[in-house]
Amino acid sequence: MIKTTLSVLWMLSGLLMIVSVLLHSPKGDGLGGLAASGGSMFTSARSAEATLNRISWSLLAVFLSLAVVLSAGWLG
């Protein structure tokens, strides 16, 4: 029962981690930045990006710790 619950949490944390990484804004403009005016360089989205960083790192810690617990065979 607990192994099934942890497996579901492990899969859910993996999916949420994928979503949180995909929500991050790209660091560079790529080739589109050559033609852009550069006005979007300074935005007020720094706190949103910092929050996404914290969420991503927390989900990574949960994902890796559950992977260790589930693969080690400690649950029987």
CA 74 to CA 58: how far, in whole Å?
A: 23
10 CB neighbour count, 10 Å cutoff? 19
For the segment 9-62, what is each residue's pLDDT rounded down to a tens digit?
Answer: 999 999 999 999 999 877 765 555 555 555 554 455 678 888 999 999 999 999
**Joined tokens for residue 35:** 């033609």
- The full set of domain ranges for the chain reads 47-71
H helix intervals, the chain: 2-23, 46-72
Q: What is the pLDDT of residue 45?
A: 66
pLDDT for the residue 62:
98
| Average confidence (pLDDT) over 4-8 | 96
pTM score, two decimals? 0.74
